[in-house]
Structure 1
Amino acid sequence: MALGWLTPDEWVRSPRARPKALSAWHSPDYVAAVMKAEEEGSVSDEVRRRYNLGTHANPVFAEMYRRPATAAGAAIWAGENLKDGGVLYSPAGGTHHGMPDHANGFCYFNDPVLAILSMREYGVQRIAYVDIDAHHPDGVEHAFATDPDVLMISVHEERRWPFKGHLEDRGVGNVFNLPVPRGFNDAEMRAAREDIILPLVQAFRPEAIILQCGADAVTEDPLSRLALSNNAHWAIVEALNGMAPRYLVLGGGGYNPWSVGRLWTGVWGTLTKQKFPERLPPLAEAVLRDLSWPGRAAGRNPPEHWFTTICDLPREGQIKPEVRERLDALGARMTAWL
């Protein structure tokens, strides 16, 4: 809004998903447990063991039901409102670790799964799910690895929690995982985009595309060791736009508030074909200067360009031999799949 890129008629306040809607994939007893944990502000040892609530990764907090239920509501709403085509962006979505009967990786409900199920309710059958978050989308793969009408592509850091998404995993054949090493750069993501992601999506001919655009894969994020600039994400956002009549973009992970704000704002700018300024105007700069990141060294002394720019400098580099080898292996699988 500070950039003048978002007008009141371009955004909708998300409805909050009701328990019955969440139970399209999540077990009703688990949904009830999350609601009760929010209401009471604590969980018993039995609930902690059974539903993985009240743990370090899935803490009890004031809006632990309302917040994810609202993101899930956006996903379900998107299924209905994309039935005749269009593009929607839900930056608060992308909680791809949530499981049917327990919380997982700070994901209490799995809005990508609920979006796919909602699309199915409105007649959309073939769906391509692309995930470029630094972490593997284990909840989404759990839901659809055996569904021939869902194409799943994930680019994620190897040997990073949840330690899934191996190169050889394939479900019924439509699962393509690319685990990448630390230092994965813009040139390598470009190769993944051109050699694997776009050919697979084009060949699949989906009726809808969902992109989980996690901001935790950029250099500044503390929870990965990848070396991407935000330009790499935006290039994928742009390349997938128009490859299916329906396009839903989800935010996903991201733990540096400045890199998240700049990257996700740029997603919207890419979708709406805005001109990216070399220097942010004062109102937009003020938004970034008002952010804080206590407890992190980078947050105590952030570099000036986190306040004044939206575009990172490109982070190019050589394509590492192990990346090339994995791309070739997926390419061979893709050729056989085609």
Structure 2
Amino acid sequence: MTPPLFLGSEIYRGSSYGGWHPLRIPRVSTAMDLSRAMGWLPREVYLTSPRAKAKALEIWHTPEYLAALQQAETTGIATDEMKARHGLGTHANPIYPEVWRRPATAAGASLLAGELLKDGGTIYHPGGGTHHGMPDRANGFCYLNDPVLAILSLRRNGAQRIAYLDIDAHHMDGVEHAFADDPDTLLISTHEEKRWPFTGALDDAGIGQTYNLPLARNLNDSEMAHILDHLILPLIEQMAPDALVLQCGADAVEEDPLSRLTLSNNAHWAIIHALKDAAPRVLVLGGGGYNPWSVGRLWTGVWATLSGHDIPDRLPPNAQDVLRALKWDNHSRGKSPPEHWFTTLRDAPRPGPIRPETQDRVAHLAARPRFFGS
């Protein structure tokens, strides 16, 4: 069996949205460095992500928007027209030195993944997962929508039925915009209710292939396991997809500053373990996550789970060095991080009651009639 592949790039190491932005922190580079420190990322399974050309991105994004994004990188500024029409140069979507090259690299990896998975396999692309991007504008820290591009690439390379699961704390509004009316694409999103972008209501169903599950704050591991067993697995098993795309945003864990969900990273890894063989083609993307330690530890554990490595109780010194080198100076939690953020990958489990509202919402979605494409 062909081993899973890891798509990464050095562009993520030195690139930041700015010193004040939630995405000022290192994320993909930490997962790469930790995986290498653990001996889990030999050269033969690592591929450098290509940078997509603008023409290739026109399968989803408008030529005018792509030209504006490239111009913004060249000039370092966004005109009033760019801000009004394309959402560039805003507080959420600032102009920074790699504002074209960085998202084009993530998009290039997602397009390449569809090609590499033509005959089956598993690919991990933690730099992907920018699920808010719209065809003609940046949105929610996302300049391009690489999950949409991945789905289109998979379909172009032979996958007809595609399941997309998004466990980010924020709703997958851009992906839903693309595929809500596509009978051959199953969309499942678990996300915090009353959280930006304030979309993804329980009964937002497109033509019936979209399953939005808004969740109350303080979601625990037991509740996520219930969601997996009673909604996610039955839907994917019934569809029997040709390809599965999983957006594994790391912002639903307790330590993240931009959500009020309280999962441990065990919940994410349990979902990866349950679904890694659910389709002949599997693509796992990154997504949100705004605490450098929780993101790096979680995404490294995703790779361990996909590639069959045991996660030790305590990290070796060279892996601890990667985590001890991280800085989060502009946040209170970064000033006194707990010791286990340096010495472990696995969080302590966070079980709890399966609350009635969680059970009711899962049951509501599970009872909806299903009519998957042939």
TM-score class, shorter? over 0.9
Structure 1, unpaired ranges of 5+:
none
Give 1:166's aligned residue: 201
Alpha-carbon deviation of 1:246? Answer: 0.2
Deviations 1:236-266 (A, max 9, x none): 0111111110000001110000000000000
1:1-338 paired onto structure 2 within 5 Å: 1-333=36-368, 337=371
Structure 2, unpaired ranges of 5+:
1-35
Distance 1:173 1:9 in 2: 41
Distance 2:151 2:366 in 1: 26
Structure ranking higher on relative contact order (CA contacts 8 Å, 6+ apart): 2
TM-score by length of 2: 0.89
TM-score by length of 1: 0.99
Distance 2:46 2:159 in 1: 23
3-state SS, counterpart of residue 215 of structure 1: coil
Q: Which amino acid aligns with 2:182?
A: D
CA RMSD in angstroms, aligned pairs only: 0.8
Alpha-carbon deviation of 1:321? Answer: 1.3
Distance 1:319 1:337 in 2: 29
Alpha-carbon deviation of 1:329? Answer: 0.6
Alpha-carbon deviation of 1:43? Answer: 1.1
Deviations 1:143-186 (A, max 9, x none): 00000000000000000000000100111110001000000000
Q: Which amino acid aligns with 2:102?
A: R
Distance 1:278 1:118 in 2: 39
Alpha-carbon deviation of 1:337? Answer: 5.0
Distance 2:367 2:102 in 1: 42
Alpha-carbon deviation of 1:328? Answer: 1.2
Distance 1:44 1:252 in 2: 28
Identical columns (%): 62
Deviations 1:103-134 (A, max 9, x none): 00010000000001111111211100000000
Off by >2 Å, runs of 4+ in structure 1: none
Deviations 1:52-110 (A, max 9, x none): 10000110001010000000000000000000000000000000000000000010000
Distance 1:283 1:260 in 2: 18
